[in-house]
Amino acid sequence: MKRKSGVVVAGLVAACPVAAQGAVSAEYKWLTFLVFGVIIALTMFVTYLAARRVKSTAQFYAAGRSVTGIQNGWAIAGDYLSAASFLGIAGLISLYGYDGFMYSVGWLVAYITVLLVIAEPCRNIGKYTLGDILAFRNDPKAAKTLAAVSTITVSIFYLTAQMVGGGVLVKTLIGIDYEVSVVAVGVLMLAYVVFGGMVATTWVQIIKAVLLVSASLLLVFFTWMPYGFSLPGFLQAAVDNPGIQAQVAKLLGDPATAMSAQELGQRFLEPGLYLKNPIDQISLGLALVFGTAGMPHILMRFFTVPTAKDARTSVLWAMGIIGGFYVLTLFLGLGAAMNVGSATISGIDAGGNMAAPLLAQYIGGGADSILGNLFLAFVAAVAFATIVAVVAGLVLASASAMSHDLWVGVIKGAKATQAQEVRAARISSVIVGIIAIVIGILAKGQNVAHLVALAFAVAASSNLPAVLLTLYWKRCNTRGIALGMIVGASSAIGLVLVSPNMTYPNAVRATNEPIVAARTSSIDTANAEMQADPARRAEIEARVTKLTAERAAAQAKIDAVAGQTRSIVGLEAPLIGLKNPGILSIPLGFLCVIFGSLLIREKRSEDMWEELYVRQNTGLHAEAASAH
Amino acid sequence: MSNTDWAHIHAHPKFKELHRRKSRFLWTLMAISVAYYFLLPVGAGYFPELFKQKLWGPMNFGLVFAFSEFLVAWGIAAIYARHANRNFDALAAELQKQFEGSTP
């Protein structure tokens, strides 16, 4: 384990001299690595302690069910708040104002479903995995196979987005190579999961959540302080900010010319700058509200606490932390837009992911100050810890599905010793980890942002209907969940494959060819100006460099689809306008579980109903915490 | 474990009471929270003029409504926790006490 962490740090440091320039200037890179080193050392120490405890399956999959409700609440927040939330939502708010904030709400409301109908019943009847819940009254082998396939599918989608996002992020922040950072995230995460199982994963997630919340509180404190912690005062400053007014004018285009500066600023606090299609928003909202409760890595967290009551406590804490965090992102996003400027933020990363790190640098005193760079280093390290913690949870969930559901449950017919199963779980973790690293490297440069939404949509259309109806509907049976899960998942994936999320070569050309032409003519004009007025050479050359870079970016997009006219499923244009499939695939998933169940009666699932329903409500004979 | 008479507990008046109270309460809260949440995208998408209405300085209805989503989510969680801690847990504990012994 020590050797592994050594390799990671060596890899990070070795990459440093050859690295491209990131947001952290070369002069202060040692500071970033120092902060990274401290956080990695801390998590490795925790893993070392955990590794000595992890001998049984209950320890490996469920931390011996001895995590307290409060600890589990922090761990859920650590498992859930991905880099997409921390950097992505702050970024959306810094570029689009109100819509970014609105986007964050669904991620919190999702936990109401978890709290009310999922957490406690699952704790009462489950053991380690989604498969255990579904196998309770359905045919165990069929249910475990379905659950494992679904768990691995959902986790791989989510994992790919995390690995690619993480690689890009670390590259942008500190300039180390994409491949190196993907491997670093993968190896580090594997060290936690393989040696420390759920015990180490839990503590890594808790440490990460505490760091994330502290970093955000610190940033918000200093961002809000100049306005005397007055909300209207802070918002008024945003409205009055010329950078924000310019950003709105840029987003609105022609209609903005008729608006006053105040109107433009106020527009930033109104809906509609980013989210244009309400049906898509409702569809995404459905995927979040029903998908979170079907996410295998979240479900798994409820098996780590001793009782259903602790599961309840953990969701309450998680909701407090997650909700509080999203309120803070409003200040982070608006603060970054005011102090750093939307133009600067989108200049470094088009998605706005650098808003929070750049705000940290500004608050510490700017790019040339040691405190500014310390703050930036801290936020960068927190972002890195965030990715590793989320990825660890996902890998643990998929590995458990492989070892506990598929290998032990289906192949070995539930006959394996504890030691054999723990070994199988460790081997599965390594397999999933390597898959994650390989996919991360292969998917370099792909647009994977929509994979997060797809993971939630699949979980909402496949896992949630199966779990919910297994828990609450007497007639639900194996055929029902099989039909529902297969149709739910494949319709969600199928709808995305024919949606505007895919790359359509003709559309790419139609967007980018005019950009190339426009930049070319601007460059010609600039060169002509330079001939005419040599005194302005330096200024014009800078402009030409920028224009050339923009032309190259557009040309690269055109070259990537050269000779193609169809998307990967052979379409010239999207079949549907919807980017989020939930509004269609979730009802379809539910209907198919109901339809499949009603087709033929199944004796076992009906015989087991009374036991399941009594147990899920009372906690009679629930899996107890193991002594340690 | 297999000797526990689940059907007997399922038919027991105390369990029936727990089931009745819990179902009604849970699904009502669930419906309220989902409905309240979807008012946000629906309102922002179809009633933008309402959302742009200024209430307090630069604070508009949309911002207040988005903040209220957080309060409502936390409020529903608190109501559920309070109710579950007071009512459901006691009933479940009674049932546990009464029937746990039935395991050989």
With a CB cutoff of 8 Å and minimum separation 6, the contacts of A334 are A93, A94, A97, A234, A235, A238
Burial state string for A469-505 with b = 16 or more CB within 10 A and e = fewer than 16: bbbbeeebbbbbbbbbbbbbbbbbbebbbbbbbbebb
Q: What is the CA radius of gyration of chain A?
A: 25
The confidence band for A26, taking pLDDT boundaries of 50, 70 and 90, is confident
The confidence band for A152, taking pLDDT boundaries of 50, 70 and 90, is very high
* pLDDT of A405 above 50: yes
Q: Which of A155, A147, A214 is nearest to A189 (CA)?
A: A155
Mean per-residue pLDDT for A278-304?
A: 93
* pLDDT of A15 above 80: no
Which residue would you say has higher pLDDT here, A36 or A326?
Answer: A326
What is the rounded distance in angstroms from the CA atom of residue A556 to the CA atom of residue B45? 35
> Using the beta-carbon criterion (under 8 Å), do B96 and A619 form an inter-chain contact?
yes
Mean per-residue pLDDT for A352-374?
A: 87
Chain B nearest C-alpha distance from A351 (Å): 22
What is the rounded distance in angstroms from the CA atom of residue A168 to the CA atom of residue A182? 9
What is the rounded distance in angstroms from the CA atom of residue A360 to the CA atom of residue A24? 12
Chain A nearest C-alpha distance from B86 (Å): 12
Q: What is the pLDDT of residue A448?
A: 74
Type of residue numbered A215:
A
Which residue would you say has higher pLDDT here, A398 or A19?
Answer: A398
Strand partners, A92: none
User: Is the four-CA dihedral A409, A413, A415, A419 of positive or negative sign?
Assistant: negative
The CATH code of the domain at A2-458 is 1.20.1730.10
* pLDDT of A351 above 80: no
What is the rounded distance in angstroms from the CA atom of residue A340 to the CA atom of residue A355? 8
Query: Could you give the 3-state DSSP secondary structure of residue B33?
Result: helix
CB-nearest to B37 from A106, A610, A617 is A106
Which residue would you say has higher pLDDT here, A271 or A276?
Answer: A271
With a CB cutoff of 8 Å and minimum separation 6, the contacts of A597 are A469, A473, A475, A476, A477, A479, A480, A481
pLDDT tens by residue, A184-203: 889 999 999 999 999 999 99
Query: Which segments within B38-94 are labelled E, that is strand?
Result: 54-56, 59-60
Chain A nearest C-alpha distance from B62 (Å): 7
> Using the beta-carbon criterion (under 8 Å), do A289 and B34 form an inter-chain contact?
yes
Q: What is the pLDDT of residue B101?
A: 61
Q: What is the pLDDT of residue A556?
A: 87
Q: What is the pLDDT of residue A54?
A: 87
Question: In whole angstroms, how far apart are CA A20 and each of A15, A176, A224, A345, A366?
Answer: 10, 7, 34, 19, 21
Strand partners, B59: B56
The confidence band for B1, taking pLDDT boundaries of 50, 70 and 90, is very low
Q: What is the pLDDT of residue B96?
A: 82
A543 token code pair = 């402009």
Three-state secondary structure string covering A251-284: HHCHHHHHCCHHHHHHHCCCCCCCCCCHHHHHHH
Is any Cβ of chain B less than 8 angstroms from the Cβ of A98? yes
> Using the beta-carbon criterion (under 8 Å), do A116 and B30 form an inter-chain contact?
yes
What is the rounded distance in angstroms from the CA atom of residue A89 to the CA atom of residue A322? 13
Give the Cα-Cα-Cα angle A214, A219, A220 (nearest 5 degrees).
100
Residues in chain B with CB shorter than 8 Å from the CB of A231 are 59
Place of tokens 């003029």: B49
Place of tokens 């199966």: A466
pTM of structure? 0.90
pLDDT tens by residue, A201-258: 999 999 999 999 999 999 999 999 999 999 999 999 999 999 999 999 989 988 888 8
Chain B nearest C-alpha distance from A612 (Å): 9
> What is the residue-averaged pLDDT of chain A?
88
What are the structural domain ranges in chain A?
Answer: 2-458, 509-560
- Provide the CA A360 distance to its chain's centre, in angstroms: 21
> Using the beta-carbon criterion (under 8 Å), do A619 and B69 form an inter-chain contact?
no
Q: What is the pLDDT of residue A3?
A: 41
pLDDT tens by residue, A408-429: 989 888 788 888 999 999 999 9
Which residue would you say has higher pLDDT here, A331 or A177?
Answer: A331
Beta B59-60 vs B54-56: how paired, if at all? antiparallel
What is the rounded distance in angstroms from the CA atom of residue A583 to the CA atom of residue A580? 8
Q: What is the pLDDT of residue A596?
A: 95
* pLDDT of A6 above 60: no
What is the rounded distance in angstroms from the CA atom of residue A382 to the CA atom of residue A146? 36
pLDDT tens by residue, A113-151: 999 999 999 999 988 999 999 999 999 999 999 999 999
Q: Within 10 Å of residue A516's Cβ, how many Cβ atoms?
A: 18
A144 token code pair = 């475990």
User: Is the four-CA dihedral A74, A80, A82, A85 of positive or negative sign?
Assistant: negative
Q: What is the CA radius of gyration of chain B?
A: 22
Residues in chain A with CB shorter than 8 Å from the CB of B73 are 108-109, 111-112, 319, 323
DSSP secondary-structure letter at A179?
A: H
Strand partners, A269: none
> Using the beta-carbon criterion (under 8 Å), do A282 and B38 form an inter-chain contact?
yes
What is the rounded distance in angstroms from the CA atom of residue A163 to the CA atom of residue A158? 9
The confidence band for A495, taking pLDDT boundaries of 50, 70 and 90, is very high
What is the rounded distance in angstroms from the CA atom of residue A10 to the CA atom of residue A49? 23
Q: Which of A348, A356, A349, A353 is nearest to A328 (CA)?
A: A356
- From B8, which residue of chain A is nearest by alpha-carbon distance? A610
The confidence band for A22, taking pLDDT boundaries of 50, 70 and 90, is low
* pLDDT of A474 above 50: yes
Which residue would you say has higher pLDDT here, B103 or A514?
Answer: A514
Least-confidence region, from A5-9, A115-119, A315-319, A527-531: A5-9
> What is the residue-averaged pLDDT of chain B?
88
Type of residue numbered A16:
C
- From A100, which residue of chain B is nearest by alpha-carbon distance? B66
> Using the beta-carbon criterion (under 8 Å), do B46 and A278 form an inter-chain contact?
yes
Chain B nearest C-alpha distance from A469 (Å): 14
| A581 phi and psi angles, rounded to 5 deg | -80, -10
Q: What is the pLDDT of residue A472?
A: 94
Residues in chain A: 628
Which residue would you say has higher pLDDT here, A319 or A126?
Answer: A319
Proportion of chain A above pLDDT 90, given as a percent: 54
Q: Which of A215, A621, A290, A307 is nearest to A469 (CA)?
A: A290
With a CB cutoff of 8 Å and minimum separation 6, the contacts of A85 are A104, A107, A325, A326, A329
- Name the burial class of residue A109, with classes exposed (0-12), middle (13-18) and buried (19+) by CB atoms within 10 angstroms of its CB: buried
* pLDDT of A289 above 90: yes
Strand partners, B54: B60
Query: Could you give the 3-state DSSP secondary structure of residue B59?
Result: strand
Give the Cα-Cα-Cα angle A490, A152, A619 (nearest 5 degrees).
100
Least-confidence region, from A16-20, A448-452, A518-522, B75-79: A16-20
